[in-house]
């Protein structure tokens, strides 16, 4: 009974730690603990100094008997020995905790949740024995491992509360009324967009399938960008999700996608794919089956978990009992994905004659450290100005950053590009302000406010005459001067 109370208290504490870590960007789970560098011995706590008794202007030292002084010296020596021993044992204790954590993961994969919790309890107990000074480099390893344990405990706790049945490794491709409704939509009003997305998938799907296989995820997930972005690398949603995999800026940051003045890696199909694989792996580990994990990919794991918690436990035994209570876009997301996979797996059955996808993109990579417009590089290489932009979609202003950057160029152009870049003029992207249009504002009002002209704002934002703007849209405004 005592162990049970301890475990649930640990689960509660770790749940708080898990959701806190999600907002600040969790560390990668699979990063191994690094061996500790050679450290100087910890400062040894010395025995108390001889007591001084003060009496008026004079002071006398308390005389410590020889036997007591010998005992104090022996105690100090033992403290020094223990401190050094503790420091030497810290790394081995962390290694032991990591091995125990790995045993818990294996038990989780076997479906033995009790054994997994037992091993996680054991791993956490080992961590509690590791006492380190605040400046020890091992503190980071200790905190990383504690966070990983917290995440696994939260996942097991969630899967215990969510009695959702399903195959752990495959995506159930059911053909119910919700899926059939989306198939009909793809066959009729969205047919053109669907077929165009299937064509574009050939450019990147080969790499996506390779990453999914390495992570042990179903290959069908390679069709998720059809639903997310129509397989367009620069797709932007109303909620400001961007790229092939439609990452929000905060979620992209969690999974290592850089966004700064020069680049936004959410638009890089290869880097964004690696981030998406990490996110999908985490979601599947959290929910234990794919349909619910995919819903969470669309609207967030916390939103889905809150809906699950409002269900009657005996009633909600599969995803289709919960999905209509999700936001409208999310409630259609999973049926649309299943519909797309069914059509692609058997196009004739659903009245499609899908064209052959485009061939995969092929390119070479050169490392440059020179901020230059891609159009200028293209001219030096005798290429179309759009070709380098197509290979490097993450560059926000079609120019390389002012730091080391791996530029993709067509096959056979690497050496020529390296020779040309250093002789090209440098380019720094202009500074822009962002303004959200408020009720009653016109372009002339906004132009006066920012000290610019209506024509400059229209040209920068691609506005057509007459310049009609809507409340809520975001305009880029040129910097003063």
What is the pLDDT, as a whole number, of residue 29? 39
What is the pLDDT, as a whole number, of residue 169? 63
Same domain, 103 and 212: no
End-of-domain residue from the set 116, 137, 161: 161
CB 429 within 8 A of CB 372: no
What is the pLDDT, as a whole number, of residue 73? 62
User: How confident is the model over 386-406, as pLDDT tens digits?
Assistant: 899 999 999 988 899 989 999
What is the pLDDT, as a whole number, of residue 231? 97
CA–CA separation, 99 and 442 (whole Å): 64
Same domain, 189 and 84: no
CA–CA separation, 197 and 343 (whole Å): 13
| Short-list 300, 295, 302, 293, CA closest to 323 | 295
Integer CA distances (angstroms), 161 to 17, 154, 287, 324, 385, in order: 19, 11, 10, 20, 55
Residue 58, in any domain of the structure: no
Buried b (16+ CB within 10 A) or exposed e, 30-45: eeebeebeebeeeeee
Residue 39, in any domain of the structure: no
| Short-list 319, 159, 162, 297, CA closest to 221 | 297
Annotated active-site residue in 119, 155, 228, 301: 228
Same domain, 259 and 304: yes
The beta strand positions in 283-423, using DSSP E, are: 364-368, 405-409
Same domain, 338 and 191: yes
End-of-domain residue from the set 128, 161, 194: 161
Which tokens go with 201?
Answer: 């998938």
Helix or strand (DSSP H, E) at 315:
none
Q: Is the pTM of this model over 0.75?
A: no
- Sequential pLDDT tens for the chain (481 residues): 545 455 555 555 555 454 444 444 433 333 333 333 444 333 334 334 433 343 444 444 445 555 555 556 666 555 544 443 454 588 888 888 888 988 888 887 777 878 888 888 888 888 888 888 887 878 878 887 887 787 677 667 655 554 444 444 678 899 999 999 999 999 999 999 999 999 999 999 999 999 999 999 999 999 999 999 999 999 988 888 999 999 998 899 989 999 988 899 999 999 999 999 999 999 998 888 899 899 999 988 888 888 877 766 544 456 787 777 888 888 899 999 999 999 999 999 999 999 999 999 999 999 998 899 999 999 989 998 889 999 999 998 889 998 999 999 999 999 998 888 877 877 776 667 788 888 888 888 888 888 888 888 888 888 877 778 888 888 888 865 3
End-of-domain residue from the set 299, 315, 350: 350
- Count of H-run helices and E-run strands, the chain: 17, 6
CA–CA separation, 176 and 163 (whole Å): 21
CA–CA separation, 390 and 403 (whole Å): 21
Residue 132, in any domain of the structure: yes
Q: Return all residues near 137 (Cβ < 8 A) that are at least 6 apart.
A: 36, 37, 39
For tokens 């939103």, what's the residue?
303
Residue 106, in any domain of the structure: yes
Same domain, 132 and 209: no
Other CB atoms within 10 Å distance of the CB of residue 428: 12
CA–CA separation, 11 and 8 (whole Å): 5
Q: Which CATH number characterizes residue 210's domain?
A: 1.10.530.10
Same domain, 243 and 307: yes
End-to-end CA distance of the chain: 73
For tokens 């890696």, what's the residue?
265
Same domain, 397 and 436: no
Same domain, 190 and 334: yes
Same domain, 264 and 408: no
CB 98 within 8 A of CB 138: no
Residue 166, in any domain of the structure: no
The answer, yes or no, to whether the previous bond of 398 is cis (omega within 30 of 0) is no
Same domain, 131 and 242: no
Which tokens go with 27?
Answer: 């560390």
R_g of the chain, CA atoms, integer Å? 30
Residue 170, in any domain of the structure: no
Residue 85, in any domain of the structure: yes
CA–CA separation, 449 and 121 (whole Å): 61
Same domain, 200 and 337: yes
- Residue numbers of the domain that contains 299: 177-350
CA–CA separation, 297 and 284 (whole Å): 10
Active site residue 228: yes
With H, G, I as helix, E, B as strand and everything else as coil, classify residue 52: strand
User: How confident is the model over 117-136, as pLDDT tens digits?
Assistant: 888 888 888 888 888 888 78
Number of domains in the chain: 4
What is the pLDDT, as a whole number, of residue 222? 97
Q: Which CATH number characterizes residue 439's domain?
A: 3.10.350.10
Residue 113, in any domain of the structure: yes
Same domain, 261 and 283: yes
What is the pLDDT, as a whole number, of residue 65? 57
DSSP sequence for 230-277: TT-TT-B-TT--BTTTTB-HHHHHHTT--BSSSBBGGG-HHHHHHHHH
List, in sequence order, the alpha helices (H) in 56-172: 66-110, 113-128, 138-161
């Amino acid at each position: 009974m005592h162990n049970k109370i301890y475990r649930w208290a640990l689960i509660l504490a770790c749940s708080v730690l898990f959701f806190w870590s999600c907002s600040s960007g969790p560390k990668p789970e699979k990063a191994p603990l690094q061996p500790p560098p050679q450290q100087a011995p910890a400062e040894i706590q010395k025995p108390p100094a001889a007591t001084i008794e003060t009496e008026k202007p004079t002071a006398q030292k308390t005389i410590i008997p020889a036997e007591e002084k010998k005992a104090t010296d022996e105690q100090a020596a033992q403290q020094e020995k223990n401190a050094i021993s503790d420091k030497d044992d810290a790394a081995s204790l962390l290694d032991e905790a990591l091995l125990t954590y790995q045993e818990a993961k294996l038990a989780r994969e076997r479906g033995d949740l009790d054994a997994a919790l037992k091993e996680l309890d054991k791993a956490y107990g080992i961590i509690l024995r590791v006492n380190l000074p605040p400046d020890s480099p091992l503190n980071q390893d200790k905190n990383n491992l504690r966070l990983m344990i917290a995440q696994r405990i939260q996942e097991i706790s969630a899967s215990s509360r969510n009695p959702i049945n399903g195959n752990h490794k495959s995506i159930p491709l059911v053909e119910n009324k919700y899926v059939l409704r989306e198939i009909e939509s793809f066959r009729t009003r969205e047919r053109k967009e669907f077929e165009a997305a299937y064509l574009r998938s050939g450019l990147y799907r080969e790499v996506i399938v390779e990453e999914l296989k390495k992570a042990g995820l179903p290959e069908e997930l390679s069709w998720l960008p059809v639903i997310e972005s129509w397989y367009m690398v620069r797709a932007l949603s109303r909620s400001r999700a961007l790229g092939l995999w439609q990452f929000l800026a905060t979620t992209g940051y969690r999974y290592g996608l850089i966004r700064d003045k020069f680049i936004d890696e959410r638009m890089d199909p290869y880097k964004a794919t690696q981030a998406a694989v990490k996110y999908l792996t985490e979601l599947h580990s959290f929910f234990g089956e794919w349909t619910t994990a995919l819903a969470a990919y669309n609207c967030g794991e916390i939103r889905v978990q809150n809906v699950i918690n409002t269900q009657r436990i005996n009633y909600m035994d599969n995803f289709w009992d919960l999905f209509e209570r999700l936001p409208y876009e999310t409630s259609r997301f999973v049926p649309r994905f299943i519909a797309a996979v069914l059509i692609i797996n058997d196009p004739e059955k659903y009245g499609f004659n899908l064209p052959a996808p485009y061939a995969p993109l092929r390119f070479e990579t050169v490392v440059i450290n020179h901020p230059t417009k891609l159009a200028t590089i293209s001219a030096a290489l005798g290429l179309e100005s759009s070709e380098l932009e197509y290979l490097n979609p993450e560059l926000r202003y079609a120019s390389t950053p002012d730091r080391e950057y791996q530029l993709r160029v067509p096959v056979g152009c690497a050496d020529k590009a390296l020779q040309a870049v250093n002789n090209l003029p440098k380019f720094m992207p202009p500074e822009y302000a962002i303004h959200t249009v408020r009720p009653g504002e016109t372009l002339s009002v906004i132009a006066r406010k920012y000290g610019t002209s209506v024509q400059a704002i229209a040209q920068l934002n691609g506005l057509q005459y007459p310049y009609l703007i809507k409340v809520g849209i975001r305009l880029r405004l040129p910097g003063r001067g």
